[in-house]
Structure 1
Amino acid sequence: MPENATHPDDAALRFHALVFHDEADGEVTVGRVDTGSFVVLPADGAALLRRLVGGAPPAEAARWYAETYGEPVDVVDFAADLAELGFVRGEGEAAATPAPLRWTRLARVLFSPGAAVAFVALLACWAWAMAVDPDLVPGYRHLFFTDYLAVVVVTMYLGQLPLILLHEAAHALAGRRLGLPSTLSIGRRLHFVVFQTTLNGLVGVPRRKRFVPLLAGLFTDLAVMAALTLFASWARHQGPALATAAGVALGLVYLTLLRVVWQFWFFLQTDVYHLIVTVLGCVDLHTTARQVLANRVAAALGRPRPHDPASWHPRDRAVARWYSVLVVAGYAFMVTVLVTTLLPAAVHATGTVVLRLVDGGQGPGLLVDSLLFLLFSVGEVALAGFLYLRERRRARRA
């Protein structure tokens, strides 16, 4: 570190409540749970920070550091970095008081050992039901629970919204169970409604406790698929009205399955990606892997490397050597999944519409339905393109 310096007035710094978590590689994650501001420090930097938090004036902490580690430290610069992170309280600023967390009791119930047993039992019943009746196994044919394709599009879109909300709410509740101020918000990407979960402070808890919040959404998706399939297994034999409801349920199961598969496209920084990063103890594996690939492509073309490996975290650099290969394989897997899942459904729907329009003798209802389906399909792409271009224009003006 740079040469020694002292705090101007040598007064002890005042800090907000900080958490320290020792990582497996000897580094220490330090931060504020209430704001989600965290930093990874080397062991000596964390020791110096502990000294300052304990009330030692900067000059005294600097002398202790020099005696302990045999080199000087610019404690003023160090303190300025801590202030920029929001760790240091300003003049007259009171210590942040954590806001009371709601839904913690529900969170403890939903992620209790008893709930885990019920979850396993639910999955077992789901597997048994599909073994007895293979027609319950999710497939694209379940999307077409009615001949009216416009009804299929609208029903599946609206039906997925609460299920996606459940997925994100599970992440938030799992965080609340650990005392983290997790939040769930609603936003949009282009014209799509999206739900987003913020798990402030997750990196500040022991690694073994991070797995449930990271996987809570995936567990919820599996539970939803199991419950809807079991409902459909019963309802499809209870009369026309419930049989239609069973068809809708199975259609939602198929779309939920696609969302589960999407989680394994880890190269898109999904839940599974964050699980991998947590297990392997990485910091920014995604960026490092992309830069490793860029360097390899540049080397193959005989060009200079665009990225300096010295800027990578050592753990990220070690993992990215093989993870970058998985990223390429992941894109191939994604294309395969799209071709084998969404493409058959699209071909079926398009073929049905073309036959209706060519035939023209299947009644005005199906003809209007086909036109509405085309309007939804083409209009959705056109609206997305329009909103994208509009936001680009606004960004350029800004």
Structure 2
Amino acid sequence: MTVAFHRLGVRRDGDEWIVGRVDSGDFVAVPEEGLLAIRLLGQGMSVEQVRARLWEETGTDLDVDDFVADLSDAGLVAEVEGRPVPSPPPPRPTFPWLQPRYVRWTLHPALHLALSVPIGAGIACLALRPAIFPGWEAALWTGHGVAVLLTWAAIAWLTTGLHELAHLVTARAAGVPARMTLGTRLQFLVAQTDVSGIWLAPTRVRVTVYLSGMAVDLTICGLALTWAYFIGPNPLTSWTILIQALRLANQLLVFMRTDLYFLLQDVTGCRNLYGDGAAYVRGLLRGRRNTLAALPPRERLSVRLYAMLQSVGTVACLAFAALVTLPLVITLIAHSVRDLLAAVEPWAMAEAVVVLVLVIVPDVLWARVWWRRHGPRIRRATAAVARR
């Protein structure tokens, strides 16, 4: 039996090799013998020939048939005996016309040094005059709530777009066909950029892609702080500073898959810190203590520590949603509906409508995105229960 692979890339990772497809983000970790087997299969050797060659050169009796089956399940095998292996097409990247050669400059250290100027200036201005950091009352620049809410929404979505664009552009500069989508992190609706293909890039490039969004956030915040110091605060800079500061603080919630989570995962050398941590906790709840046996020894301590943080953070976050966020949302909706029904002036009606839209639409989007991700699993579980 002969095998043909999709276009693969490789990167050494400790004692193993990461092998996978940049276009689809599918990767596996294999030992030296596995990498040799992939290369021999890619040269047109049959499964039987590869097994014999491995035994001759390394003394390893690898079940190449099972190995090929695992690679096929991972989406790396294109053909078996000349017959195509069915697999979903790679996701369509965002802005496919954006070629790496157009944006390769975003990975240059000179740009990173240049961004440190506005960031450093903002920090210096804040240190010299802490009062330029606004309170929430500074952002309430008018008594018309609808104008304040629309200002907040416009700045929040604009800066979110710039944050995600930074991830997209730096990943594209590294040859990764990244794409921007909406996603969920616990009770939060988030914009996110899938940069899975960056796994094969060098460490410096991976770190640049992970932190590029935060670099943009810090740059925007630094510019706004500098403006407030030299020219004076205004509603625009106040909202910008507050929104960016809140977004940067949210990155510290590494029990969700924030930008800093991916940096933490890379630094600890773990390949799926979030998934392994969740599996470890589920195993403990079911009385199993050997759920980490399949992981390399160097990852086990990191996963255990992260699992503790993940558990505490998730419980705290969901408790906050149940005790604070949900009652607040219900109250806002109830008050807005009451104000809309009782409103006489057009401005009051518009304000009630804007509040309803800004509160309800994100929740509807969250529910849709969440169901698209988890719905098939729930339907399968429901069908399995019904068959019993």
Q: Under TM normalisation by the shorter chain, which class is it?
A: 0.7 to 0.9
RMSD of aligned C-alpha atoms? 4.3
The answer to whether the Cα contact below 8 Å between 1:58 and 1:75 also exists between their aligned partners in 2 is yes
Question: What secondary structure does 1:265 align onto?
Answer: coil
Aligned position for 1:261: 249
| Corresponding residue for residue 240 of structure 1 | none
Q: Tell me how far apart the structure 2 counterparts of residues 153 and 180 of structure 1 sit (CA, whole Å).
A: 37
SS at match of 2:175: coil
The separation in 1 between residues aligned to 2:281 and 2:189, in whole angstroms, is 33
- Select the residue among 140, 161, 166 that pairs with 2:162: 166
CA contact (8 A) 1:101 1:176 kept: no
Q: 1:88 aligns with which of 65, 78, 93?
A: 78
Correspondence 1:318-357 to 2 at 5 A? 318-328=301-311, 330=313
User: Match for residue 41 of structure 2?
Assistant: 52
Tell whether 2:100 aligns with 1:104.
yes
Alpha carbons 1:145, 1:251 under 8 Å: kept: no
Q: Could you say what secondary structure the match of 1:326 adopts?
A: helix
Equivalent position SS for 1:195: strand
Counterpart residue number, 1:278: 266
2-structure distance, mates of 1:60, 1:213: 41
Whole-angstrom CA distance in 2 between matches of 1:224 and 1:214: 17
Aligned-pair identity in percent equals 25
1:239 is matched with which residue? none
1:294 Cα offset (Å): 4.2
Alpha-carbon separation, structure 2, partners of 1:212 and 1:76: 39
The offset of 1:387, in angstroms, is 6.7
Note the residue ranges of structure 2 that are not aligned, 5 or more in a row: 340-344, 384-388
Give the structure with higher Rg (CA). 1
Q: 1:361 aligns to what?
A: none
TM-score, normalised to structure 2, is 0.74
User: Structure 1 residues 371 and 162, CA, compared in 2 at 3 Å: closer, same or farther?
Assistant: closer
CA drift at 1:128? 2.6
Distance, in Å, in 2 between the alignment partners of 1:365 and 1:110 is 48
Which AA in structure 1 matches 2:287?
Answer: P
Assess, with a 3 A threshold, how the Cα gap between structure 1 residues 378 and 212 changes in structure 2: closer, same or farther. closer
Counterpart contact for 2:18–2:200, Cα < 8 Å: yes
Alignment equivalent of 1:143, drawn from 136, 139, 147? 139
- Contact 2:255 2:306 (8 Å CA) reproduced: no
Give me the whole-angstrom Cα distance separating, in 1, the residues matched to 2:134 and 2:316.
19
Q: CA deviation at 1:148?
A: 2.1
1:250 equivalent to 2:238? Answer yes
Q: Retained in 2: the 8 A contact 1:295–1:306? A: yes
What is the Cα deviation at residue 324 of structure 1? 2.5
Aligned mates of 1:154, 1:216 — CA distance in 2: 27
The offset of 1:385, in angstroms, is 9.3
For residues 59 and 390 of structure 1, the distance between their equivalents in structure 2, rounded to whole angstroms, comes to 45
Alignment pair present for 1:33 and 2:22: yes
Instruction: State the match for 2:3 in structure 1.
Output: 13
CA shift, 1:306, in A, is 8.3
The two structures have a TM-score, normalised by structure 1, of 0.72
Please tell me whether the aligned partners of residues 182 and 369 of structure 2 are also in contact (alpha carbons under 8 angstroms).
no
Paired AA for residue 150 in structure 1:
V
Q: Does 1:22 align with 2:12?
A: yes
Structure-2 residue corresponding to 1:127: 123
Q: Deviations over 1:173-224 (max 9, x none)?
A: 11122122223346899xx985331214211223343110011111111111
1:288–1:317 contact (8 Å) kept in structure 2: no
Instruction: Tell me, in whole angstroms, the C-alpha distance in 1 between the residues paired with 2:189 and 2:312.
Output: 30
Matched residue count: 353
Letter of the aligned partner of 1:195 in structure 2? A
Given that 2:167 and 2:210 are in contact with CA atoms closer than 8 Å, whether structure 1 keeps it comes out as: yes
Amino acid across the alignment from 1:110 = T
Partner of 1:115: 111
For structure 1, the residue ranges without an aligned partner over 5 or more in a row are: 1-6, 237-242, 358-363
Q: String of CA shifts for 1:263-285, please: whole Å, max 9, x gaps.
A: 11000111111111111111222
CA distance in 1, matches of 2:72, 2:228: 57
Q: Measure, in 1, the Cα distance between the counterparts of 2:121 and 2:164.
A: 25
